[in-house]
C-alpha cells in the first residue's frame, strides 16, 4: 500500500498533518479508524498505518485493502506502541503529527478544531481535547468529567495529573516531539505520559479544548486494562524524571509525593485482588502498606474490617462489585449520544458507521 496524496493534502493553510496509527490486534476496528481520518473536514497530508507485528495481520490487511490508495502501510517486527509511533514519526513528512490508536476514531471536525487552535496561537506545539469513553460499543463518560483539566498545561500540572493528554486526541509538532526524543521504547505502558513530560520540561507549549471529538474504546484486555501494571509503570516514569531531568528541588518533592501516592494506589489494587481471591493475609499486608503511604479514611476502614471480619468484608466487597456492574450496564448513554448527531452521516462506507456512538453498525467485540 502506498500513499495517494491527491485526497489528503489540505486545500488551505500551511499546516501539513501526518496521521500515525499504530496497529496491533485491532483488525476489527481499523477500518473505522481509517475512515474517520479520511472523513476529516481538514484533510490530512498523509495517513500512516504501522503494523507492529500484529498477530492478526491477514485480517488487518484485508480490512485495509479498500483504502490502499489512501494509506501508507508499514510493517515491522513488534516494538510496542512506542516503537510503532516512533516509526510513523520518522517516516512522516508533515510538520504536525496527529496520533490515533487503531481501536479509536475521530469526529469529522477533530483535525479542523486542533489546527484552528494552533493557528490562533503559533507558539503552541501540542493541542489535545476531551474524549468520549466507550465500552462494549456504548459511550459511558467523558474523559474530562472523570479527570478535570488544569486551565494551563505545565510541567507541574502534568506531574500531578491535573493535565491528562489522550494520545488519540493529540496533534503535535513533529520537530518538537523529535527534539524531545520521541517515545521511550522501554515503556509498554505510560509511554505517552513520559513523552509529554519530557516535551513540557523542554519548553513545549501545550493547550486543549473541552469539546469531545474523539471516541476512545476502553478494553478489558489491552495494555491499559491492567490497572496495577499501569500504576507501576507510572512510578517508573516518575523515577525516570527524577533520575534524568535537571528538575528543581520543589519539582523533585512533587515527584516523590506522586510516587508515594501512586504506590498507595498500587497497594489498594493489590488489596482488592487479594481480597477477591480470599488471600486475607496478603490483603491485610497491602492495606497496611497503603495506609502508611496514603492517610485516607477508606483505607483505614478497610484495614480495620480486614482484621476484624475479613470474610464478611470480602462478601460486602464482592456484592459492591456486582451492584456497580449492574449500575454501569443499566446507565443510558443519551448524554453522550448527542455528540454523534452532527457527524453520523460522515462515513465513507455506508456499511460502516464512522462516527456512530450507539454501537449500531459498529464492529464486533475485540479479540
Q: Domain 5-226, what architecture?
A: Alpha-Beta Complex (3.90)
pLDDT of 328 reads 52
Q: What does the alpha-carbon distance between residue 192 and residue 240 come to, in Å, rounded to a whole number?
A: 14
- For residue 66, give the C-alpha cell: 479498500
- For residue 55, give the C-alpha cell: 498477530
**Which H or E element spans position 252?**
helix 249-277
- For residue 10, give the C-alpha cell: 489540505
Cα–Cα distance list, 61 to 30, 134, 287 (Å): 10, 25, 48
Count of other CB atoms within 10 angstroms of residue 175: 12
Give me the residue spans of the domains in the chain. Answer: 5-226, 263-330
Count of other CB atoms within 10 angstroms of residue 57: 14
- For residue 359, give the C-alpha cell: 454501537
Below-50 pLDDT ranges, the chain: 2-7, 9-12, 222-225, 332-367
Cα–Cα distance list, 60 to 174, 305, 367 (Å): 27, 50, 13
pLDDT of 247 reads 97
pLDDT digits (tens, 9 = 90+) for 173-220: 999 999 999 999 999 889 999 999 999 999 999 999 999 999 999 875
Cα–Cα distance list, 216 to 34, 265, 355 (Å): 14, 24, 11
Q: pTM of the entire structure? A: 0.79
pLDDT of 300 reads 83
Cα–Cα distance list, 42 to 105, 109, 115, 129, 301 (Å): 15, 7, 8, 16, 53
Strand 96-99 and strand 171-173: pairing?
A: antiparallel
pLDDT of 136 reads 87
Handedness of CA 342, 344, 348, 353 (dihedral sign): positive
| 314 Rama sector, left if φ>0, alpha if ψ -120 to 50, beta otherwise | alpha
* Residue carrying the nine cell digits 466507550: 134
Amino acid at each position: 500500500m502506498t500513499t495517494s496524496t491527491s485526497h489528503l493534502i489540505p486545500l488551505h493553510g500551511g499546516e501539513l498533518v501526518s496521521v500515525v496509527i499504530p496497529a496491533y490486534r485491532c483488525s476489527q476496528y481499523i477500518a473505522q479508524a481509517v475512515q474517520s481520518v479520511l472523513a476529516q473536514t481538514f484533510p490530512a497530508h498523509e495517513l500512516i498505518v504501522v503494523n507492529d507485528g500484529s498477530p492478526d495481520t491477514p485480517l488487518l490487511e484485508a480490512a485495509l485493502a479498500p483504502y490502499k490508495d489512501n494509506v501508507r502501510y508499514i510493517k515491522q517486527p513488534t516494538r510496542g506502541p512506542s516503537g510503532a509511533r516512533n516509526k510513523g514519526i520518522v517516516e512522516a513528512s508533515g510538520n504536525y503529527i496527529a496520533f490515533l490508536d487503531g481501536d479509536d476514531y475521530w469526529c469529522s471536525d477533530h483535525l479542523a478544531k486542533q489546527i484552528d487552535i494552533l493557528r490562533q496561537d503559533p507558539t503552541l506545539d501540542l493541542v489535545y481535547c476531551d474524549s468520549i469513553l466507550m465500552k462494549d460499543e456504548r459511550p459511558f463518560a467523558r474523559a474530562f468529567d472523570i479527570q478535570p483539566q488544569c486551565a494551563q498545561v505545565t510541567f507541574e500540572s502534568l506531574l500531578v495529573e491535573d493535565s491528562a493528554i489522550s494520545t488519540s486526541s493529540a496533534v503535535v509538532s513533529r520537530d518538537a516531539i523529535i527534539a524531545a526524543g520521541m517515545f521511550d521504547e522501554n515503556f509498554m505502558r505510560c509511554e505517552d505520559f513520559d513523552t509529554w513530560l519530557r516535551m513540557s520540561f523542554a519548553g513545549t507549549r501545550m493547550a486543549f479544548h473541552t469539546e469531545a471529538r474523539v471516541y476512545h474504546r476502553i478494553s478489558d484486555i489491552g495494555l491499559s486494562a491492567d490497572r496495577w501494571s499501569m500504576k507501576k509503570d507510572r512510578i517508573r516514569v516518575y523515577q525516570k524524571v527524577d533520575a534524568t531531568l535537571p528538575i528543581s528541588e520543589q519539582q523533585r518533592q512533587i515527584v516523590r509525593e506522586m510516587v508515594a501516592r501512586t504506590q498507595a494506589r498500587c497497594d489498594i489494587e493489590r488489596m482488592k485482588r487479594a481480597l477477591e481471591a480470599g488471600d486475607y493475609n496478603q490483603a491485610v499486608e497491602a492495606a497496611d502498606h497503603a495506609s502508611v503511604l496514603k492517610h485516607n479514611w477508606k483505607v483505614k476502614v478497610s484495614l480495620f474490617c480486614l482484621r476484624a471480619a475479613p470474610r464478611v468484608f470480602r462478601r460486602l466487597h464482592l456484592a459492591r462489585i456486582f451492584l456497580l456492574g449492574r449500575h454501569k450496564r443499566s446507565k443510558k448513554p443519551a448524554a453522550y449520544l448527542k455528540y454523534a448527531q452532527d457527524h453520523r452521516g460522515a462515513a465513507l462506507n455506508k456499511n460502516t458507521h464512522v462516527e456512530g456512538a450507539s454501537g449500531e453498525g459498529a464492529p464486533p467485540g475485540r479479540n
